Amino acid sequence: MARKAEGPAGEYPLTNADWGAIHRLAWQNKEKVQTKDAHGKEVVKNFGDALATDPTAAIRHYASNVRRPPLKPGFKMVKLRPPPADVPEEFWDDVNPFPPSCC
């Protein structure tokens, strides 16, 4: 299935189907992911463990090694909304006290 590029940078969002597959992989926790430990040493973790401790590595692994067809570089993991126009910048810390929309 071809993906339509979003925006001038050719960014591709993860779809709801992608997130379903990511959760399945995490629950199965068998797929091996190359990641780093707390000391920066390269290690191999199961997908669910990597998703919990290094989500960037886990999602990049999914996008390039598991998903068919693989996502092109430039895919977006989170959906960050534009800054609020009606709230002064000094109050932005209080606007979204939760993670960005991703899963």
The position carrying tokens 């199961």 is 46
Antiparallel, parallel or unpaired: β 12-13 and 75-76? parallel
pLDDT in tens, 39-77: 989 999 999 999 999 999 999 999 999 998 888 888 887
> What local confidence, expressed as pLDDT, does residue 7 receive?
45
Strand pairing category for 75-76 and 42-46: unpaired
CA distance 38 to 93: 28
Q: What is the mean pLDDT of the chain?
A: 84
Predicted confidence at residue 33, as pLDDT, reads 97
